[in-house]
A = this chain, B = another copy of it.
């Protein structure tokens, strides 16, 4: 069935020969066909079809100096980053958009600072055209690493203040938090508590800022610290009830902590939302919908953020050439949306 000896795929040369044109023309057609007359172009396309020609990416990369691949860098200070449903959606968005652009996704798993060298070398080696990275912690060395490697990159989530200025895509954590708190205010709540996320994650910081934007004079005792886990949410809730038994609403920095809070409120016999209204953040469907009562929360388009990361990177790539033009890279903040369910 193969026209060639087994193992050897047809080359552009073969296509050109079959179509009766030069390699140059065949190449032009394969790459869009600009400047080739219709009948010739058709002949070439036909030959491509018949031979089942697929361009050799290596040869192409060699001359264009573009790999057609993008690295997705996963730093994993914590254990369970990868299996975060969040992350999954984001990577899916990235994957889809990359596919739409005929680019490949190379997964780079950073196993800690000791691994930075390897990653830097790889990135610097021109194996990928750009990188997409996720920065979760303030002290993450990733932004610096990527800057050093001089690879065009886009971050998912706003890197910490200490980090180098890099373009990123994030959702409007602060604005979303404001919406959530305003919603509670609109419900007539007057003693609105906040369960904050880890102090070293920008998303948590921004959400807390949003809370304070609306309730700038809130009693500090109305804020408790959590770490984005359900248990920490429960602990924080317990603490809050002790400090301010009169609270009538809680805005938790994520759904998991909101679920923990809900558990404690139920155990203490506080009716939700009658006595205490609860709002979460993220709209993690599995958590928010199965919570009792179902959770009012702030939704973000996570897959969309992934796609946007790719688009932004694509733009940086086409603009800056090979990373030489380091103009002010525009970051993108995506809007959020309040999803009303039963808890508030």
- State the A residues within 8 Å of B (CB): 6-7, 9, 54-59, 61-62, 67, 69, 72, 80, 82-85, 87-88, 91-92, 95-96, 99, 104-109, 111, 118, 121, 124-127, 322-324
Contacts and interface: CB of A to CB of B under 8 A. Distances in A.
Task: Give the number of copies in the complex.
Answer: 2
Given A95-B109, A106-B106, A80 B72 contact: no
Given A6-B324, A54-B121, A62-B59, A92 B105 contact: no
Contact of A324 (B7, B84, B104, B127): B7
A125 B125 CA distance: 23
A124 B58 contact: no
A78 B126 CA distance: 36
A322 B8 CA distance: 10
Contacts of A109: 92, 95-96, 99, 105
A192 B104 CA distance: 50
Nearest to A82: B88
A56 to B, nearest CB: 7
Contacts of A87: 83
A88 B83 contact: yes
A196 to B, nearest CB: 24
Contacts of A95: 107, 109
A118 B102 CA distance: 10
Contacts of A57: 58, 67, 125-127
Contacts of A124: 54
A104 B57 CA distance: 15
B85 A91 contact: no
B58 A62 contact: yes
A307 to B, nearest CB: 13
A82 B72 contact: no
Nearest to A67: B58
Contacts of A83: 82-85, 87-88
Nearest to A8: B65
13 contacts: A7-B322, A7-B323, A57-B58, A57-B127, A83-B84, A83-B85, A83-B87, A91-B107, A99-B118, A104-B106, A105-B106, A105-B108, A107-B107
A84 B84 CA distance: 9
Contacts of A99: 109, 118
Contacts of A80: 85, 88
Contacts of A84: 83
A255 to B, nearest CB: 15
A72 B82 CA distance: 15
A236 to B, nearest CB: 19
Given A58-B67, A107-B107, 13 more contacts: A9-B125, A54-B121, A54-B124, A54-B125, A57-B67, A59-B62, A72-B107, A80-B85, A82-B88, A82-B91, A83-B84, A96-B109, A106-B106
